[in-house]
Structures are given as C-alpha cells and as structure tokens.
C-alpha cells in the first residue's frame, strides 16, 4: 500500500537515523525528501508546504524529551498523522448502512467486505441490493454474499422494480439481522438523478450510517466528491478503496481530511478480506516502517515529565539537568526495558550498574548536596575545588567522598550525553548511539 511513498519515507528516516548529528542541514534535507515523497503521492502542495514548515519548526525548536534523532522521527510521525484524514468508528451495533459512491468506486465489493468485517466481529449482517439499473450488479453482489454465507435481497426477491419498494421490503425481511448493508447504483459522475435517488432512499430508511466509497486513484478529487455527497445526504464515514493499486492514495487521504468527513475503512485488494479499519497512527507507522515507534513515543510521553528532562544535547549538561534526568528515570520503572528504548540505550558504559546504584536514598542525598552548592557550581561543576568540596560537604551534612561521588556520576553522564550527539562511524548502523535496536532493524 503506497509502496513508493513508504520507501521514500523510510529512506528519509534512515538518513535521519544514520546522520552524524541533527542540525538545520539534516532537517532541511529531511523536509526536502518529505516534500518530494508527498507530492509524488499526490498530496496537495499547500498541505505539503504547511507540513514542511511545521516539521522544520518543531524539529529544531521543541524541547527534547527523546534523543534528537528520535525527536525528529516523532515530529515526522505526528505531523504525517496530522495531514491524514481522521478516522471514524463504525460501532458494532444493530444498524442500517447505506453505501453510496460513483460507478466503479468499489461500492459493491465494499458491501461484501463490510459484511465480512461484521461477521468476523460476531454480528449478523445481511445485504440488500438497490441497484436496479444493471442486473449484473445484483448478480455480482449475490455471488459475493454467497461466498461468505450472508443473506442477500434484491428486486428478484420481492418482484418489485421500484428502488424504494425494494429497500423497504429488504429491511423488513432482514429486520432480525444486526447489520443491514444497502448497495446503491452509482453513476459515472455526480448526476442529479442519482443524488435524488439517494436522498429518497436515505429519507425512507434513516440509515445510521451513510458511507461514501471513493477510489483512491482519484487523488485530490476526493475532496470534491466527499463534499458533494455530504451536502446531499450527510456522510457519516468514508471508505477509500484500491489503496493497493495507486500511488495517489496520499492525495485521497489528505483531501478527505479537508472535508471534515472521517475515514472508516480502506480497501486494500480484490479479496473480501482485503479490507481494514483506518487508523492513522498505525497507517503512518507502517509507512515509516516502524512498528515500535508508537510504543517508544508513548512511553516517552507518558512517563517522562517534560519539565524534568529539559536536557538538550546542544545545551550544557549541568548538575541540575542530571538531577532532573535521574528523577525522571526513576519514575519510569523497569530500567532494563527502558534502557533499550531511551537515549541511554546501547552504550559502552556499564549503564545498568550506574543506574541501579542510584537508589532513592542516594537521590535524596544528591539533592541535599546540590542544595548546598551555589548556582554557579551547579552550572559549572568544574570549578568545585578542594575547599569548595569541603564547604559543600559540611553544608549538606555529608562527606567529601559523597560529594565526589556525585561529581563523578555527573561526569560519567555528561560523557554519555556527548556520545549521543557525536558519532563514531557514520553509516555503521549497529554502532549508532541512542537508537533502539528494534527500531534499527526495521529501518534496514
Ligand atoms: N485492487 C482492488 N480492486 C478493488 C478494490 N475494491 C474494488 N475493487 C475492484 O474494482 C472494480 C469495481 O468495483 P465494484 O465494487 O464493482 O464498484 P461499484 O461500481 O462501485 O459497485 C471491481 O473489479 C473490484 O474487484 C480494492 O480495494 N482493491
Ligand atoms: Mg456496484
């Protein structure tokens, strides 16, 4: 699905992960790659421009909670989600679903796919065909329904010719089914007689859902169609089909975002199971090839108090930063697991020992020691000489050995922090600092 977009985005992410450092140049290059990829996927230029600005702005100016590479990827991930359509939830309850859309958009196939979807969720679906213009349409749907043993109703089932009569008889016949899916006739364009007919069916049935089916290949045109159908009958959700067969899917998805209608499902192939709920975050994760990025970002968001972890790699790493970082790390629970995911992952230093030694008690002690320091000493620990050391120890009721321990610990952390921003061996992914192994595997 959107293979080309996906491979260009993965390449852009790979560049970020393997770049020596994250600076204006790296971000500019990312933005250029992103622009090229999105424009090829038919995303509107104005959207691409806005997105570029936001990525540039956020990548360089936001406070860092993750290491800089992860931060940039997180920004990219979030901003891509932002330009995709919203997802809407179709509840798993008793309901009538009216399917509308232009001829060839994939309506009939989607009726059967939708029936299959509900069936898999344990509901009982039934399908009604209200396309009286093409007998083949009815046969097609009937055949699809028989494949999945879903009951089917059409003009032949009731001997009626009028669309309204047929749907009335159909919903009555299927009253005891959970989900009634009604297929309608499409046209090649937005003609007024089709719209009138849809209005009449919709008024007669009052269906809970009115789903518009759009072919992904129409790209940016999706916005015009969605607006027109929405004005006519009020769309409750959109199904974008044939995501497997076009490079323009990005255009369709982002155009829908502009109309305010949410996307419910994506059609991803000709088979009845080639159908999935649209979930923007999963979708982008897949595009970027990072199953794990979501977990990583959630962990960082939930557990790290941003204020406590202001440490930026460009800035100085002071004793205050050290304290904030230790406190934040302590809050995060099982260290070993987190170390794999945080900037501290994969270091040569014996990080396990270093962190395990910092007990709650020690942390309190460190705080007391720091309280006895001047602001200048906290910002520039190097100036702490023998006499300052003794003063601090006395002031905090500790020993000079303890003060030294804190200072030593600080120097060690400072070295680690430096090693995130500098690098040894550009392009040698396995030795990259700070990128979780799991993520790296996905990038290759
Ligand atoms: N590859 C692919 N083909 C699809 C998808 N959905 C529908 N089609 C095909 O598109 C064609 C038109 O679909 P149909 O359901 O008859 O469209 P309708 O005229 O809107 O009812 C058929 O050949 C379907 O097999 C999809 O998600 N992927
Ligand atoms: Mg059809």
| Burial call 44-59: b when 16+ CB within 10 Å, e when fewer | beebbeebbebbbebb
Give the tens place of pLDDT for each residue, 255-267: 888 778 899 999 9
pTM of the predicted model over 0.85: no
Compute the distance from residue 257 Cα to the ligand 1 centre, in Å. 23
Tell me, what's the pLDDT at 167?
97
Between CA 226 and CA 262 the distance in angstroms is 10
124 ligand 1 Cβ < 6 A: no
Low-confidence ranges of the chain (pLDDT < 50): 292, 294-297, 300, 302-314, 334-354, 356, 421-444
> Which atom from ligand 1 is nearest to the alpha carbon of 113?
6
50 ligand 1 Cβ < 6 A: no
Tell me, what's the pLDDT at 186?
83
Give the tens place of pLDDT for each residue, 215-243: 999 999 999 999 989 998 999 999 999 99
Question: What is the SS3 assignment for 240?
Answer: strand
Compute the distance from residue 186 Cα to the ligand 2 centre, in Å. 7
Tell me, what's the pLDDT at 192?
83
Tell me, what's the pLDDT at 49?
95
Tell me, what's the pLDDT at 365?
85
Between CA 407 and CA 366 the distance in angstroms is 10
Between CA 204 and CA 210 the distance in angstroms is 13
Tell me, what's the pLDDT at 412?
78
Domains and CATH numbers, the chain: 3-85 (1.20.120.140), 95-278 (3.40.50.300), 304-443 (1.10.260.30)
Question: What is the SS3 assignment for 317?
Answer: coil
In this structure, which residue's CA is closest to atom 26 in ligand 1? 242
Tell me, what's the pLDDT at 289?
74
**263-267 vs 275-277, strand pairing mode:** antiparallel
Compute the distance from residue 134 Cα to the ligand 2 centre, in Å. 9
Between CA 327 and CA 304 the distance in angstroms is 9
């Amino acid at each position: 699905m959107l293979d080309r977009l996906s491979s260009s985005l993965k390449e852009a992410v790979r560049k970020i992960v393997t770049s020596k450092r994250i600076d204006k140049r790296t971000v500019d290059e990312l933005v250029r790659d992103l622009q090229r990829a999105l424009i090829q996927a038919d995303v509107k230029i104005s959207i691409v421009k806005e997105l570029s600005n936001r990525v540039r702005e956020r990548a360089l100016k936001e406070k860092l909670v993750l290491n800089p590479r992860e931060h940039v990827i997180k920004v990219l991930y979030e901003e891509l989600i932002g330009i995709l359509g919203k997802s809407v939830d179709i509840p798993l309850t008793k309901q009538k679903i009216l399917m509308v859309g232009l001829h060839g958009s994939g309506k009939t196939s989607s009726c059967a796919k939708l029936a299959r979807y509900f069936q898999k969720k344990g509901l009982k679906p039934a399908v009604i065909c209200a396309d009286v213009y093409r007998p083949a349409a009815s046969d097609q749907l009937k055949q699809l329904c028989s494949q999945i043993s879903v009951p089917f109703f059409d003009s032949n089932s009731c001997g009626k010719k009028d669309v309204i009569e047929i749907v009335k008889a159909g919903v009555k016949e299927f009253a005891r089914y959970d989900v009634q899916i009604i297929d309608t006739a499409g046209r090649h364009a937005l003609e007024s007689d089709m719209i009138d007919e849809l209005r009449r069916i919709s008024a007669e049935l009052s269906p809970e859902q009115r789903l518009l089916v759009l072919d992904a290949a129409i790209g940016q045109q999706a916005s015009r169609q969605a607006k027109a159908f929405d004005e006519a009958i009020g769309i409750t959700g959109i199904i974008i089909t044939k995501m497997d067969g076009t490079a323009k899917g990005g255009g369709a998805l982002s155009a829908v975002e502009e109309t305010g209608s949410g996307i419910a499902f994506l059609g991803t192939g000709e088979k009845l199971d080639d159908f999935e709920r649209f979930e923007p975050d999963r979708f982008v994760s897949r595009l970027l090839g990072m199953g794990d990025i979501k977990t990583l970002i959630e962990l960082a968001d939930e557990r790290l108090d941003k204020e406590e972890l202001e440490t930026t790699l460009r800035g100085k790493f002071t004793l205050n930063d050290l304290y904030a970082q230790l406190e934040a790390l302590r809050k995060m629970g099982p260290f070993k697991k987190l170390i794999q995911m945080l900037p501290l992952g994969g270091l040569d230093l014996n990080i396990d020992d270093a962190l395990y030694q910092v007990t709650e008690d020690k942390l309190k002690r460190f705080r007391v020691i720091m309280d006895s320091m001047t602001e200048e000493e906290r910002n520039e620990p190097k100036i702490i000489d023998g006499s300052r050391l003794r003063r601090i120890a006395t002031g905090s009721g500790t020993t000079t050995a303890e003060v030294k321990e804190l200072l030593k610990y600080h120097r060690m952390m400072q070295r680690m922090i430096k090693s995130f921003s500098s690098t040894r061996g550009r392009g040698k992914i396995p030795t990259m600092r700070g990128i979780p192994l799991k993520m790296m595997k996905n990038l290759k």
